[in-house]
Amino acid sequence: MDLSDYQVKKKKNLHSDKHLLIDEVRKTFGDTAKKGIGSFGFYLGLLKGVSVSVIRRIFREIMEGNAKSPRKLFTWKIKEFKKKQLDKSKYSPMPSNLHY
């Protein structure tokens, strides 16, 4: 069987791996909001600066568990990850090649 027989239908608004992952997360959590919490823009903002591999790891951890509210847990874990990243960057020494 030739793989060219299968045509993958791409959604025209999903431009990157992160967009596809956000779409998958929203479908899994049952989010259909157009604006506000649960919207595509909400997740895009939440996941800004987080690599796709980290998002997949956190998403997989939650889906393997049995959380009462997986959406809330996912949001909390992403926020905690971003906080830790921010704390690391605060206390890392400034590169010596920058002069002010």
Given a contact cutoff of 8 angstroms between Cβ atoms, the answer to whether 59 and 25 are in contact is yes
Residue recorded with tokens 């989010």: 31
Contact indicator for 46, 75 with CB cutoff of 8 Å: yes
pTM of this prediction exceeds 0.75 = no
CA angle 19, 53, 76 (to 5 degrees): 80
The token pair at 66 is 């049995």
Q: Is 39 helix (H, G, I), strand (E, B) or coil?
A: coil
Residue 8 confidence (pLDDT): 47
Least confident of 1-15, 21-35, 60-74: 1-15
Which tens digit of pLDDT belongs to each residue from 48-68? 999 999 999 999 999 999 989
Tokens of 40: 């595509």
Per-residue confidence (pLDDT) for residue 60, from 0 to 100: 95
